[in-house]
Amino acid sequence: MRAGVAAAAALAALAAAPCSLAQGTADHAEGMRLFLQKGNCQACHGWAGDGRKMDNQMPDGPNLRESALDRAAVTLTIKCGRPGRNMPAFDRLAYSDGRCYGMKDADLKKSELTLFDPAAPLQPREIETLVDFLFAKVIGKGPMDRAKCAEYWGSDVEACRELK
């Protein structure tokens, strides 16, 4: 009985630990999927987050690998976007109740600030997973090179061959 309780507590602690401790790098797969697919961040920021955007019709996203923002600021930027500056808000309720910069849709309209539409809104839990991925693989990681590329994709894929 006691052993069962201890095991359950250990499991709970493991689940709460940062993913790098609990699982290792392979398990940033969900965050990566949110970055590349559901949020389509790569359209403007590039698959490596280095600003080499994937879609020339889209606005230029800055190089996230060189971003100096901390976790709270990155989370805020993803949830609230940057009105008037082409970074979409991924929180569905971003400008509904003043949670973002104290502004609502009407305030944005009054100031003539437009927001780029996100590919899809993200749940708070998805944004946490995405931010975990960004800090593990993108933000502060320096320029993408062949070794980092192979680690990022899980193997030395085509996209890595052009890198040194």
Residue ranges in contact with ligand HEC by CB under 6 A: 39-41, 43-45, 58-59, 61-62, 64, 67, 69, 74, 77-78, 82, 85-88, 90, 116, 130
Q: Could you give the CA distance from residue 87 to residue 90 in angstroms, rounded to a whole number?
A: 9
How far CA 94 is from CA of 34, 120, 149, in Å, comes to: 18, 13, 34
To ligand HEC, the closest distance from the beta carbon of 65 in angstroms equals: 10
**Placement of tokens 């998805």 in the chain:** 126
* Smallest distance, ligand HEC to C-beta of residue 55, A: 9
Nearer to ligand HEC, 91 or 149 (CB): 91
What's the closest the beta carbon of residue 53 comes to ligand HEC, in angstroms? 8
Q: String of b and e for 32-56 (b: at least 16 CB within 10 Å)?
A: bebbeebbbbbbbbbbbbbeebeee
Q: Which residue has the tokens 């539409």?
A: 117
In the complex, what is the shortest distance from the CB of residue 49 to ligand HEC, in angstroms, rounded to a whole number?
A: 8
CB of 148 to ligand HEC, least distance (A): 18
Give the tokens for residue 70: 């901390």
Distance CA 164, CA 145 (A): 6
Question: Which of 124, 104, 131, 123 has its CA nearest to residue 41?
Answer: 131
